[in-house]
Structure 1
Amino acid sequence: MRYRFALSAAAAASIAPTAAAFPTPQRDVASIVSPIWADEASRDKAGEADNVIRALAIRPGQTVADIGAGSGYYTMRVAPVVGPSGLVIAQDIMPRYLDRLKSRVRHAGLKNVRFVTGTAADPRLPASSVDVALLIHMYHEIAQPYELLYRLRASLKPDGQVAIVDLDRPSQYHGMPKALLVCEVKAVGFSLVSIVDLKPGYLAIFKPAAPVDPRAVTACRA
């Protein structure tokens, strides 16, 4: 997520974010238990990826970041859509997950996938490079969501989007209540575009709004 709503160099320096500048979430953070959210055949039968790709109008030539890519369910389905002129960035904080996904991508013959190892606070993506950032059934596992979203925002193109798929239930049960999600994402400089019912779960789509001073970010309460 990157923004061309560029702050001046002086302003940017004056609010250079540090880990201490961001609040911790006032809710449970679920543990990372598996790179697989559910079996792929069931997800395909429900049309999950097709519905998300359609709602986001993902198309050839775009750059899509699969944040918390895990086993690569979305990476494998988005790469053919963006085609050889596009790029999928498969990002995760678990190197062993990426190692397995690299093998899967190689065996599938996909040439438009790159891999990035991030942290719980920083996706480590190039600035102003991403059209769509996907966070699929993993937002509730992010230990530092405010800092990660703030830094993700910087990797978005001016018209880029952040798309979060989750279940509408408490985070300790591997879900994220819609209202709480919207509050947290808006707190770091995004506006809500739409929420799409996926059955089960939902897709929340955001776009960059006015940049915020990270020191002014306050945690939303569950």
Structure 2
Amino acid sequence: MTHTVPTRPGLRWALAAGTVGAVAAGAWWFGDKAPYPYAQRRLLDLQLPGLTPAGLNAVLRPGPGERILEIGPGTGLQSLHIAPQLGPDGRLDVLDIQPEMLDHVMRRAERKGLTNITPTLSDARELPFPDGAFDAMYLVTALGEIPEPERVLTEAVRVLAPDGRLVVGEFFDRHWIPFGTLHRLADASGLHLAARRGSTLAYLARFRPCSAVARTGPLRFTPGCRA
């Protein structure tokens, strides 16, 4: 004799909703491509937990008159927040490999009356800028989408001023770089960890070139830097 356990309608709906949610999450995870496709750009305007504008300000510390480079601006969520803080004498360079993303950022900047954003279409592994050109550089959920992220970090050391700073923001998705992995890559590239905010699943980390650390103290106990 077979016994069946009655299921309440509400429970059946909850189970069904959970199954649909799991399928949708799986489709999002395995369908997530790099670079992030412009056709899905609306998702880039969603504010990710742990990567808030206030958090980015606290770690990046943008200031008037600075020249800052953003890699992978997407639709400009961070760009439109950072650029006004640089003032008329400052400049935000945004670099992306997709012209559609750059065009989108510039249209939004024009609507907001921002004139200190300059777009560059290029590969982040070979930055088309001279040595020491930037006071700071940042990537928010972008580094993991770039093949050979260690090359991006090496280029960051080159284009940053000697006392410049690099900020990397990561959030748990298919292209997420765990903090421990990033720290090792940064050490190997000649970058010293200066600050970190958040957990490994959603964090912002600031690094400084070893040349800057050398002027502020001995290097023999500084990972990634050599005396």
TM-score of the aligned structures, taking structure 1 as reference length: 0.72
In the other structure, the counterpart of 1:34 is 37
Superposition RMSD on alpha carbons, in Å?
2.6
Q: Which amino acid aligns with 1:33?
A: Y
Q: Is the Cα–Cα contact under 8 Å of residues 135 and 165 in structure 1 kept in the other structure?
A: yes
Q: Which runs of 4+ in 1 moved over 3 A?
A: 34-43
Q: Distance in 2 between matches of 1:198 and 1:60?
A: 30
Q: Could you say which structure has the higher helix fraction?
A: 2
Find the aligned partners of 1:82 and 1:127 in 2 and give their Cα distance. 21
Q: 1:165 aligns with which of 169, 175, 185?
A: 169
The counterpart of 1:85, out of the listed 83, 86, 89, is: 89
Counterpart in 2 of 1:191? Answer: 192
Percent identity between matched residues is 25
Give the Å deviation of 1:62. 1.1
Where does residue 11 of structure 2 map in the other structure?
none
Instruction: Specify the alignment match of 1:146 in structure 2.
Output: 150
CA distance in 1, matches of 2:124, 2:46: 29
TM superposition shift of 1:126: 3.3
Partner residue in 1 for 2:181? 180
Does structure 2 retain, via aligned residues, the 8 Å contact 1:166–1:203? yes
8 Å Cα contact 1:125/1:155 also seen in 2: yes
Aligned pair count?
179
What residue number does 2:118 align with?
A: 114
Unpaired runs of at least 5, structure 1: 1-29, 212-222
Which protein has greater RCO, CA pairs closer than 8 Å, 6+ apart? 1
**Residues 1:64 and 2:68 aligned together:** yes
Q: Please list every run of 5 or more consecutive structure 2 residues that lacks an aligned counterpart in the other structure.
A: 1-32, 213-227
Q: Is the 8 A contact 1:149 1:188 kept in 2?
A: yes
Amino acid at match of 1:31: A
Structure with max Cα Rg: 2
Does the 8 A contact of 2:132 with 2:161 survive in 1?
Answer: yes
Structure 2 length as normaliser, TM-score?
0.70
Report the Cα distance in structure 2 between the residues aligned to 1:176 and 1:46, rounded to whole angstroms.
Answer: 15
